[in-house]
Amino acid sequence: MQSVLRHARRIVVKVGSSLVTAEGRGLDHAALSRWAEQIAALTAQGKEVVLVSSGAIAEGIARLGWKKRPQAVNELQAAAAVGQMGLVQAYESIFRTHGLHAAQVLLTHEDLADRTRYLNARSTLRTLLELRVVPIINENDTVATDEIRLGDNDTLGALVTNLIEADCLIILTDQPGLYTADPRKYPDATLVMDAHAGDPDLERMAGGAGSSIGTGGMLTKILAAKRAARSGAHTVICSGREERVLLRLAAGEAIGSQLVARQAPLAARRQWLADHLQLRGGVVLDDGAVRALREDGKSLLPVGVKGITGEFERGEVVAIVDTDGCEIARGLANYSASEARRIAGKPSSAIEAELGYMDEPEMIHRDNLVVLA
């Protein structure tokens, strides 16, 4: 089995807090130097590399002399502001020694949920890569309280992978990879070397967060691989402490757990729809409408809608669920929640009589819809 990284041209590398900050003791400059050296070598090979780095909050905690991660949001934001300074300074100085510029890019999930900001972010990152600049990406924890609560740069790594249509996502962690069970509790657990991203069995294997410094456990990495696979990107989960791990992967060596994307890449607009993490509401479908979407690729008509959840406006992304509450798709609503409630279950020909006008005959047009399951 060869590494999926061997033929990858555009790569996203995500490093976790425990690696970046030596288990919370402050920035591990030696580790940062090792990764920078490898990224510089990959750049020299003609590959484009984006680095998603955790560690701002953990570095801030260390700089402020706090003994444990605080719970209060304002203290987390303060730690992020302090720690981001050290993180960026370290990466800039280290990459400069290899003749490369680094660029700081702070993102929130909201940046990627707004279509215009999404396209602007993609354009900026692609331009930086064309200029042989290494983008250093982190969540904007200083202002984004939702992102601090999620605390999940694995998901951010997957979102960036989809954003720039990367070939591969490399998640460097403090574990050798994904095991069939928690090896700390079950000594007979074995390393999963090769699997398909999105396989439900992987989610059952994954446990909770394993570090007091970071907040993402193996499950967030499995879900990140599933998300990255939507754009056709493969994922490798492996130890960041492996000697020259990125270069060995690029040379074809199989290290850690390789989660292969098996579905065709989603078109860019549908990929953007699929990447929404925070939805304001949803529509509940009857069985016939579910089949029409899944099997026939049809638009969603009001007649197939059984109910509306939450509050949303026209043009917002909503979840599309079956009667069991399972999300099967998502898309851009042609009508607000209040309007949708009035026309739910009715034929399109009745929309104008009910609302006094008809913008579109569909609740959600198929061009603005992506099926997830």
Annotated domain spans of the chain: 10-270, 279-371
DSSP state of 368: G
Judged against a pLDDT cut of 70, whether residue 203 lies above it is answered with yes
Judged against a pLDDT cut of 80, whether residue 25 lies above it is answered with no
Judged against a pLDDT cut of 60, whether residue 145 lies above it is answered with no
Alpha helices in 97-152 (DSSP H): 109-113, 115-130, 145-150
DSSP state of 269: H
Judged against a pLDDT cut of 50, whether residue 148 lies above it is answered with no
pLDDT of amino acid 270: 86
Give the least confident one: 127-136, 269-278, 306-315: 269-278
DSSP, collapsed to helix, strand or coil, labels residue 4 as coil
Percent of the chain residues past pLDDT 70, beyond the cut = 94
Structure tokens at 88: 């960026």
Judged against a pLDDT cut of 80, whether residue 22 lies above it is answered with no
pLDDT of amino acid 62: 87
Residues 331 and 364 sit within 8 Å (Cβ to Cβ): yes
pLDDT of amino acid 285: 96
Mean pLDDT over 7-18 rounds to 92
| Residue position matching structure tokens 């400069």 | 96
Scored b (16 or more CB within 10 A) or e, 31-64 reads: bbbbbbbbbbbbbeeebbbbbbbbbbbbbbbbee
Percent of the chain residues past pLDDT 90, beyond the cut = 59
Give the least confident one: 168-182, 207-221, 335-349: 207-221
- Angstrom distance (rounded) from CA 3 to CA 242: 15
- Angstrom distance (rounded) from CA 218 to CA 196: 16
Residues 24 and 61 sit within 8 Å (Cβ to Cβ): yes
pLDDT level of residue 141 (50, 70, 90 thresholds): low
Judged against a pLDDT cut of 90, whether residue 103 lies above it is answered with yes
Q: Do domains 10-270 and 279-371 have the same CATH topology?
A: no
Judged against a pLDDT cut of 70, whether residue 262 lies above it is answered with yes
- Angstrom distance (rounded) from CA 159 to CA 161: 5
**Count of helix runs (H) and strand runs (E) in the chain:** 15, 13
Mean pLDDT over 73-102 rounds to 92
Pick the CATH number of 279-371 from 2.30.130.10, 3.40.390.10, 2.40.50.100, 3.40.50.970: 2.30.130.10
CATH topology of domain 10-270: Carbamate kinase (3.40.1160)
Helices 56-64 and 73-96: angle between axes, nearest 10 degrees: 100
DSSP, collapsed to helix, strand or coil, labels residue 206 as coil
Burial class (CB in 10 A: 0-12, 13-18, 19+), 250: buried
| CA angle (268, 270, 276) in 5-degree steps | 105
Closest CA relative to residue 159, chosen from 181, 144, 139: 139
Region for residue 100 given its phi and psi (left: phi exceeds 0; alpha: psi -120 to 50; beta: otherwise): beta
Q: Which residues contact 239 (CB under 8 A, 6 or more apart)?
A: 172, 173, 174, 175, 176, 177, 245, 255, 256
Please provide the distance, in angstroms rounded to a whole number, between the alpha carbons at the two ends of the chain.
Answer: 29
pLDDT of amino acid 144: 59
Judged against a pLDDT cut of 90, whether residue 335 lies above it is answered with yes
Q: Which residues contact 220 (CB under 8 A, 6 or more apart)?
A: 152, 154, 155
Give the chain's mean pLDDT: 88
Give the least confident one: 61-65, 130-134, 137-141: 137-141
User: How big is the chain by its Cα radius of gyration, in Å?
Assistant: 22
Closest CA relative to residue 337, chosen from 303, 363, 360, 368: 363
Q: Label the pairing between strands 101-107 and 48-53.
A: unpaired
pLDDT of amino acid 147: 40
pLDDT of amino acid 24: 67
pLDDT of amino acid 140: 78
Judged against a pLDDT cut of 50, whether residue 150 lies above it is answered with no
DSSP, collapsed to helix, strand or coil, labels residue 371 as strand
Residues 205 and 179 sit within 8 Å (Cβ to Cβ): yes
